[in-house]
């Protein structure tokens, strides 16, 4: 619609004053004379459109062009001054921004005053004329959408340090004032439409406004619209018209371009996401801001409908002009109600993970990437050694992460279904802020007194049962398991270890011995003398199958063999280690009754039970925070790592005071950086996010859905042998034959590589390398689960054709 143009002096009532006051009516000759006399510009004048002011384009003899602006006398002079000062401020702080420049009079005044023949006085200003095409809402290319968003953000950046006493004036188009239009909705004749508009205003008043008031605010342009945005191809070249300038929540600046530009767009959500992503690449939007955009856009559309219907009652003769675009604004409201807020928010979050342009984004491509990937790989081989693992046939060069997305060096967003370390989502802003804030405040030697380590230990131990009440902080899962080994040996006086065949517990010398997956019995290296293994209780392909009578008991009985075997070598068990999701065994959850019986046997032989929660902890398995809680057991030692710091190197051991005392009687323990203030701040932030976002519950809900989607795929893809796991830790075993269970390792690798091509990251696991390892950040949602399943379906179709 044609909205009442440019600077309004008030909300609803005040708007009336300016709109009703007669616009200035100077002739072209008078305009030329004013320009000459007051601004020393010799130019021809050409009238420009304006509803209530009068504007002339001035073409000077030397080629320069200007706009002569004669303000409506009802306009508040303070607002005109604010516009002028804002333009001067922008010219000072970001001269590269193309906005009109203020032309002063020869004696330095920023405006002149003239008397009209009707006795009224008019303020006259001159601004530079910006050439360019006006943005056309029907042809919004994605790149242009991003540039619109980026321009809005750059303008806001430039205005960050600007203030003016008139900035918090009453403005009809101030979103904060939207509820005031409620008193005009009776002008909307169509009842259904009126109801929708009223509901939006009511919702805004009751729900949106209280949240909006908590967001960062500053002076914003507030009208980056088609009328005011100049473009050249897919680039924004400038922004004009500072008449709606206002002090308001920053995010409101997005409502205008989105509301307008998505109206005619064939894929409106994608267009809105492009604009938002463009903004985000310049100024990172906070999650609360992203969430509100949907409501701000629908409120803006509702305002347009309400204002136009009100205005047309007073000016039926201008109906065509006033009502232009209102039908689309109304239809837009209907569509938005169908979408719902969540859909738009999800699209925004996804789009904001996508880097926009190198110029504005917060990363730069590495020189190696520009050369080529091969040189990067070669340098890595030389500097880190040729054996250091690199995933994928065509390795991925990642440059950024956000939520469930990893972005590669070409800007492509990859759905991350693999990485469990950034458990609350890549670069979660709460965690990042906690880290940055603490790093900027204090990070020091852990032998000093500071509160966060105590608070964090209190939070962690409060989640643990029994006597698990003491924390020891280290820096990696391997270190945690290493320390657990020292604790167990000190407490029991024994030196033997029991682990699962194919277990993996880390990299230190002691823990390496506890990790047969790493040295591999069948890779030629035998178990260390003090270690005995038990088979994983694998009911699918293991030694005893689900159909075998008493199969769980038979697996439990293996502990007798392991203990006896240790005894023959002169060892008693100090500890039994169990990864609660049996990751390196091919991902499986121990069957009911198994763990409690196993613990009893180990304890009867004098050993301690160590729950290695490095993979399974922090809500991943969905029903519980810790994997062991599903089995009605209380371990003697719990080791934590990976997701504990969402990527920061930190880890912990939680155990009983008696066990700690046993170690301390014999030796000392000190970790320089384990549990330092930054680690604790991050650990606390991770716990906060887990709780506030209900991520454990989400893991249960989304994980169950994802498993059931994948199980359904098994009907069409015989390669799927078994789908298993808990929460968002899922294993999909691929086999060539359902009776022989011949492992489909080659096909598994092909599926993983194909999924990368389809934009999804997933891993390979298990002793036969034939299990798809699916353990995404816990912010994975139902839509991501569908996208994952789609890609898996396609990848499996391709693998059906592979020659074994």
Ligand X SMILES: Cc1ncc(COP(=O)(O)O)c(C=O)c1O
Q: 221, 225, 193, 245: which is closest to 3 by C-alpha?
A: 225
Shortest CB 622 distance to ligand X, Å: 18
Task: Answer yes or no whether residue 54 interacts with ligand X by CB under 6 A.
Answer: no
Q: Which stretch binds ligand X (CB under 6 A): 211-219, 308-316, 397-405, 498-506?
A: 498-506
Give bridge partners of residue 473 from the DSSP assignment. Answer: 652
Pairing between strand 760-761 and 413-416?
parallel
- Taking the least distance from each CB to ligand X, the nearer of 326 and 614 is 614
Nearest to 542 by CA among 409, 378, 722: 722
Q: What is the dihedral of CA 433, 434, 435, 436, to 10 degrees?
A: 50
Give the nearer residue to ligand X in terms of CB position, either 149 or 725.
725
Q: Which CB atom, from 271 or from 531, has the smaller least distance to ligand X?
A: 531
Under the binding rule (CB under 6 A), the answer on residue 482 touching ligand X is: no
CA angle at 285 for the pair 279 and 286, rounded to the nearest 5°? 170
Q: Of 800, 733, 717, 796, which is closest to residue 770 (Cα–Cα)? A: 733
Q: Is 476 in the site for ligand X (CB under 6 A)?
A: yes
Contact between 617 and ligand X by CB under 6 A: the answer reads no
DSSP H or E stretch at residue 651 = strand 651-655
Is 505 near ligand X (CB under 6 A)? yes
Cα distance between residue 8 and residue 313, in whole Å: 19
CA atoms of 607 and 645, how far apart (whole Å): 30
As beta bridge partners, residue 760 has 415
Least distance in angstroms from the C-beta of 383 to ligand X: 20
Tell me the residue number closest to ligand X, measured at CB: 477
Sole window of 11-19, 215-223, 609-617, 682-690 interacting with ligand X (rule: CB under 6 A): 609-617
DSSP 269-295: HHHHHHHHHHHHHHSPPPHHHHHHHHH
Closer to ligand X by CB, 329 or 460: give it. Answer: 460
Does residue 174 bind ligand X (CB under 6 A)? no
Give φ, ψ of 146 to 5 degrees.
-65, -40
Question: Which residues are CB-contacts of 190 (< 8 A; sequence separation ≥ 6)?
Answer: none
Name the residue nearer to ligand X (CB basis): 268 or 477: 477
Check binding of 614 to ligand X (CB under 6 A).
Answer: yes
Cβ proximity to ligand X: between 298 and 476 the closer is 476
Q: How far apart are CA 299 and CA 305, in angstroms?
A: 10
Site string for ligand X, 549-588 (x = CB under 6 A): ------------------------------x---x-----
- For the bound state, the minimum distance from the C-beta of residue 756 to ligand X, rounded and expressed in Å, comes to 21
Among 54, 276, 615, 676, binds ligand X (CB under 6 A): 615
Q: For residues 273 and 588, which CB has a smaller minimum distance to ligand X in the complex?
A: 588
Residues 11-50 touching ligand X, rule: CB under 6 A, are none
CB-nearer residue toward ligand X: 541 or 620: 620
- Please, what is the minimum distance in Å from the beta carbon of residue 239 to ligand X? 50
C-alpha triplet 764, 767, 771: angle, nearest 5°: 35
Chain positions 635 to 694 lying near ligand X, rule: CB under 6 A, are: 641-642
Of 298, 332, 438, 478, the one binding ligand X by CB under 6 A: 478
Decide whether 501 or 612 has the Cβ nearer to ligand X: 612
Shortest Cβ 537–ligand X spacing (Å) = 16
> In what helix (H) or strand (E) does residue 229 lie, and over which residues does it extend?
strand 229-232
- Grouping H, G, I as helix, E, B as strand and the rest as coil, residue 627 is helix
- What's the closest the beta carbon of residue 515 comes to ligand X, in angstroms? 8
Among 485, 504, 551, 559, binds ligand X (CB under 6 A): 504
Q: How many residues at the interface with ligand X, by CB under 6 A?
A: 15
Gap between the Cα atoms of 480 and 493, Å rounded: 19
Q: Does 477 bind ligand X (CB under 6 A)?
A: yes
Q: For 215, which DSSP code?
A: S
**Cβ neighbours of residue 316 closer than 8 Å, sequence gap 6 or more:** none
Candidates 612, 636, 765, 781; binder of ligand X (CB under 6 A) is 612
In angstroms, rounded to a whole number, what is the distance separating the alpha carbons of residues 802 and 41?
77
The contact set with ligand X (CB under 6 A) reads 476-478, 481, 504-507, 579, 583, 612, 614-615, 641-642
């Amino acid at each position: 619609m044609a909205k009442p143009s440019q600077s309004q002096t008030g909300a609803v009532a005040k708007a009336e004053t300016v709109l009703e006051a007669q616009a200035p009516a100077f002739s072209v000759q008078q305009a030329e004379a004013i320009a000459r006399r007051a601004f020393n510009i010799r130019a021809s004048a050409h009238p420009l459109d304006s509803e209530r002011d009068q504007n002339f384009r001035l073409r000077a003899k030397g080629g320069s062009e200007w706009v002569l602006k004669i303000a409506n006398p009802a306009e508040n002079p303070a607002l005109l001054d604010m516009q002028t000062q804002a333009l001067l401020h922008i010219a000072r702080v970001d001269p590269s921004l193309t906005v009109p420049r203020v032309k002063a009079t020869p004696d330095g005044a920023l405006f002149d005053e003239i008397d009209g023949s009707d006795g009224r006085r008019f303020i006259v200003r001159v601004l530079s004329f910006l050439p360019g095409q006006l943005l056309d809402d029907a042809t919004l290319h994605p790149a242009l959408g991003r540039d619109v968003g980026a321009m809005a953000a750059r303008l806001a950046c430039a205005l960050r340090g600007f203030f003016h006493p008139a900035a918090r004036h009453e403005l009809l188009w101030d979103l904060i004032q939207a509820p005031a239009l409620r008193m005009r909705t009776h002008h909307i004749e169509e009842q259904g439409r009126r109801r929708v508009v009223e509901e939006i205003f009511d919702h805004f008043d009751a729900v949106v406004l209280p949240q909006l008031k908590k967001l960062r605010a500053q002076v914003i342009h507030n009208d980056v619209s088609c009328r005011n945005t100049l473009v050249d191809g897919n680039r924004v070249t400038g922004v004009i018209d500072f008449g709606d300038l206002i002090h308001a929540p920053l995010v409101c600046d997005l409502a205008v371009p989105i509301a307008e530009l998505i109206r005619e767009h064939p894929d409106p959500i994608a267009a809105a996401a492009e604009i938002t992503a463009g903004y985000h690449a310049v100024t990172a939007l906070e999650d609360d801001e992203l969430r509100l955009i949907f409501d701000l856009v629908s409120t803006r559309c509702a305002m347009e409908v309400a204002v136009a219907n009100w205005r047309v009652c007073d000016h039926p003769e201008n109906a065509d002009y006033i009502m232009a675009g209102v039908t689309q604004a109304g239809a837009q409201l209907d569509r938005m109600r169908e979408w719902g807020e969540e859909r738009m928010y999800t699209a925004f979050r996804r789009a904001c993970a996508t880097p926009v342009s190198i110029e504005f984004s917060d990363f730069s491509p590495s020189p190696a990437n520009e050369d080529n990937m091969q040189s990067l790989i070669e340098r890595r081989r030389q500097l880190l050694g040729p054996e250091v693992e690199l995933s994928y046939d065509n390795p991925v060069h990642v440059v950024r992460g956000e939520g469930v997305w990893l972005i590669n060096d070409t800007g492509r967003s990859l759905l991350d279904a693999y990485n469990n370390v950034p458990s609350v989502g890549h670069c979660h802003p709460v965690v990042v802020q906690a880290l940055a804030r603490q790093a900027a405040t204090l990070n020091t030697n852990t032998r000093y007194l500071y509160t966060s380590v105590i608070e964090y230990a209190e939070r962690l131990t409060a989640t643990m049962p029994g006597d698990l009440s003491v924390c020891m902080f280290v820096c990696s899962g391997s270190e945690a398991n290493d320390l657990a080994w020292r604790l167990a040996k000190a407490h029991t006086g024994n030196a033997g270890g029991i682990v699962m065949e194919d277990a993996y517990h880390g990299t230190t010398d002691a823990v390496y011995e506890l990790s047969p997956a790493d040295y591999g019995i069948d890779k030629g290296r035998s178990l260390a003398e003090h270690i005995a293994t038990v088979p994983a209780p694998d009911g699918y392909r293991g030694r005893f199958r689900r159909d075998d009578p008493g199969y769980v008991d038979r697996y439990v009985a293996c502990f007798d063999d392991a203990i006896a075997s240790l005894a023959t070598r002169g060892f008693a068990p100090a500890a039994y280690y169990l990864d609660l999701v049996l990751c390196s065994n091919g991902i499986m959850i121990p069957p009911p009754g198994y763990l409690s019986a196993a613990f009893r046997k180990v304890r009867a032989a004098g050993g301690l039970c160590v729950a290695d929660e490095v993979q399974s902890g922090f809500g991943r398995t969905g029903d519980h925070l810790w994997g062991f809680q599903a089995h009605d057991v209380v371990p003697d030692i719990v080791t934590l790592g990976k997701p504990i710091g969402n990527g920061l190197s930190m880890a912990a051991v939680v155990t009983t005071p008696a066990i700690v005392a046993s170690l301390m009687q014999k030796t000392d323990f000190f970790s320089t950086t384990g549990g330092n203030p930054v680690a604790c701040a991050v650990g606390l932030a991770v716990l906060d996010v887990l709780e506030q976002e209900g991520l454990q519950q989400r893991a249960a809900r989304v994980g169950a859905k994802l498993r059931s989607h994948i199980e359904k795929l098994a009907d069409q893809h015989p390669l799927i042998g078994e789908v298993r796991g808990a929460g968002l830790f899922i294993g999909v075993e691929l086999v060539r034959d359902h009776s022989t269970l011949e492992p489909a390792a080659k096909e598994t690798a092909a599926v993983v590589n194909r999924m990368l091509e389809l934009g999804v990251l997933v891993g390979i696991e298990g002793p036969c390398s034939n299990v798809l390892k699916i353990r995404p950040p816990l912010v994975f949602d139902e839509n991501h689960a569908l996208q994952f399943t789609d890609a898996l379906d396609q990848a499996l179709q391709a693998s059906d054709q592979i020659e074994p």
